[in-house]
Amino acid sequence: MHERASTTENLNRSDMGPLALYIHWPFCVSKCPYCDFNSHVRDQVDVAAWQSALLADMAHEAALVPGRKLSSIFFGGGTPSLMPPALVETLIAAAERHWGFADDIEITLEANPSSVEAANFHDLAGAGVNRVSLGLQSLDDQTLEFLGRAHDVNEGLAALDTAQQAFERVSFDLIYARPGQSLDNWQAELDRALSFGTGHLSLYQLTIEPGTRFETLVRTGKLVPADDDHCADLFELNRNIMTAAGLPAYEISNHARPGQESRHNLTYWRYQDYVGIGPGAHGRRLEQATERHKKPENFLSAVERNGNGLKVEQPLSPETRAMEALMMGLRLAEGVDLADLQAKTGLPVAAMVDGAEVEKLCGLGFVEQREGHLTILPKGMPLLDALLPKIIAL
């Protein structure tokens, strides 16, 4: 008993590094045909009920992970820009009471670039949000229609302008590898995107996810995805253009000026602790994996019954933690410090990484291992999904 108490006390120390908070708002105006996120369309949302449930869920986590200041908060979805600013302010204030904030806390909110939601941007900034991530997705009206987006280019750019006036930091997303998209068209779109001067851009390859409308279209032959070679060419174009513009890739799909990286997402990719609340939210804290009930109604019922929305709470073995840390960390340009990972998990490097395979991949120019640090090189990044099973020995 004494040993277990000592371990718990150690896990609760405030010097364990940054703690991040993720808050999931599951509601959208409509469901995009490519989206497999936990998003739901509802005619009405009882804001008071959701405020009560999210506050209770947050309080549950705060009691388990005390004494560590928050380095970041991320409102994800769904469409968090549909949240009333007063609710956002209430949740931010509760988080500060529970944990306290780092001096330079990053508070991000995902937003759709519609005129209706942009009208709330200044109020959201007043509520405490200092970074916004806009789902522009494309700078072409025909493509936006294909992607099922509710905004057009002009509306999206007007929202971007409002965001740049309201928030300290702005990022936006674009989707590439769309059917029929040429290298020249994508380069022109990237050049235009860079002209807006944001410090962060997320460039996501269109992937066909199970259970989406696009997956049905592909299965029935009504949609033909871009082939792998063309996707690789587009990916290389991303790297070249963004690096030349001063926004190098710090993660496989994310590009930023130095100092403008998403600190919240870096917490995930560096496999540091984060608390997740709200429907379907995942967390990693105190060497445990957590997951909330996914369906909004089930989440509310769980909070009413139990005082929290937890569906899963289970300890993670050293092997699982090492595997997850490698899968996340190798997405980053900085790679993974294997000595640090060994210290955190107690596993020898040889048990985590296939040394012979790494040596082979180093010779091919896909991977670099230097002074105990393992990195996927730019040549290997387009092949990341294929490389990870070869590298990770767990």
- Three-state SS for 289? strand
Q: How are the residues of the chain apportioned to helix, strand and coil, as percentages rounded to the nearest 5?
A: 45, 20, 35
Per-residue confidence band for 16, with pLDDT thresholds at 50, 70 and 90: low
Tell me the CATH number at 180: 3.20.20.70
**Mean of all residue pLDDT scores within the chain:** 92
The domain that holds 335 is classified in CATH as: 1.10.10.920
| Domain presence at residue 302 | no
Residue 157, pLDDT > 70, answer yes
pLDDT tens column, 252-287: 999 999 999 999 999 999 999 999 999 999 999 999
Selected residue with higher pLDDT from 82 and 41: 82
Q: What is the pLDDT of residues 285-318, one digit of tens each?
A: 999 999 999 999 999 999 999 999 999 999 999 9
| Alpha helix (H) residue ranges in the chain | 2-11, 47-64, 85-99, 115-118, 121-127, 141-146, 153-166, 183-194, 213-219, 228-244, 263-269, 296-306, 318-329, 338-345, 349-352, 355-363, 384-391
How confident is the model at residue 142, as a pLDDT? 93
Q: Are residues 183 and 81 in the same domain?
A: yes
Question: Confidence class of residue 102 from pLDDT cuts 50, 70 and 90?
Answer: very high
Q: Are residues 77 and 171 in the same domain?
A: yes
335 in the same domain as 218: no
**pLDDT tens digits, one per residue of 120-144:** 999 999 999 999 999 999 999 999 9
Please report, as a single letter, which amino acid is at residue 348: P
Higher pLDDT, 216 or 38: 216
Same domain, 152 and 65: yes
In this prediction, residue 225 carries a pLDDT of 85
Number of domains forming the structure of the chain = 2
36-42 average pLDDT score: 74
Tokens of 347: 């596993």
For residue 57, being part of any structural domain is answered with yes
Give the residue numbers spanning the domain of 385: 317-394
Do 258 and 347 sit in the same domain of this protein? Answer: no
Residues 260 and 323 in one domain: no
In a domain, 5, yes or no: no
Residue 312 lies in a domain: no
> Residues 192-250: pLDDT tens digits?
999 999 999 999 999 878 888 888 888 898 888 888 899 999 999 999 999 999 999 99
On whether both 122 and 262 belong to a single domain, the answer is yes
